[in-house]
């Protein structure tokens, strides 16, 4: 009898891990469960910077997520490390600045697994970054959810089609 393998981690990364990346993590967790992919994939999130380590997600992100049926409860901010990148199957940057930061942090052999989350959408949208809603209004938090839902659905479509 073989021990079951640990699900592959999809690591979502934004700046402080309190708005965009925990939102993406919550959406991915729900979508993975809905698609019956929990044995294959799990979601996690982190920030490029340690500004908010140990803090819960931003209250505005929590409200926007709850209004759409997602829960950010229990999530706490962490900072992405090289070990996190090495352990993850994919590291999904929420904007191009995060992508550049992660590629500077990681050794070159890990670069292929670091991608922009929006890069999974076909056809490719002109806007590749999920904008930071931190200094914006409630509509910006809803827009983050819209973009994350679209990109995560496309990501999971691609991953689910790969052989196990």
Residue 19 appears among annotated catalytic residues? no
Sheet arrangement for strand 8-14 = 41-47, 8-14, 90-93, 114-116
The one catalytic residue among 19, 20, 58, 129: 20
Dump strand ranges (E) for the chain. Answer: 8-14, 41-47, 90-93, 114-116
Handedness of CA 47, 144, 92, 25 (dihedral sign): positive
Residue 132 appears among annotated catalytic residues? yes
Helix axes 138-161, 20-34, angle to 10 degrees: 40
Residue 148 appears among annotated catalytic residues? no
Structure tokens at 119: 């890069």
The one catalytic residue among 35, 87, 103, 132: 132
Answer whether the bond into residue 123 is a cis peptide, omega within 30°: yes
Q: Cβ neighbours of residue 131 under 8 Å, at least 6 residues apart?
A: 95, 140, 143, 144
Q: Which residues are catalytic?
A: 14, 20, 132
């Amino acid at each position: 009898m073989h021990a079951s393998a640990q699900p592959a981690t999809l690591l979502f990364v934004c700046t402080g891990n309190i708005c965009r990346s925990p939102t993406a993590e919550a959406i991915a967790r729900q979508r993975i469960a809905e698609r019956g992919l929990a044995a294959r994939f799990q979601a996690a999130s982190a920030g490029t910077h340690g500004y908010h380590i140990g803090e819960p997600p931003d209250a505005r992100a929590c409200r926007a997520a709850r209004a759409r049926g997602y829960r950010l409860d229990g999530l706490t901010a962490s900072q992405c490390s090289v070990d996190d990148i090495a352990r993850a199957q994919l590291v999904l940057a929420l904007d191009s600045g995060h992508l550049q930061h992660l590629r500077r942090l990681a050794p070159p052999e890990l670069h292929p697994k670091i991608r922009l989350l929006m890069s999974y959408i076909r056809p490719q949208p002109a806007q590749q970054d999920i904008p930071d809603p931190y200094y914006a209004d409630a509509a910006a938090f809803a827009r983050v959810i819209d973009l994350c839902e679209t990109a995560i659905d496309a990501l999971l479509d691609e991953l689910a089609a790969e052989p196990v």
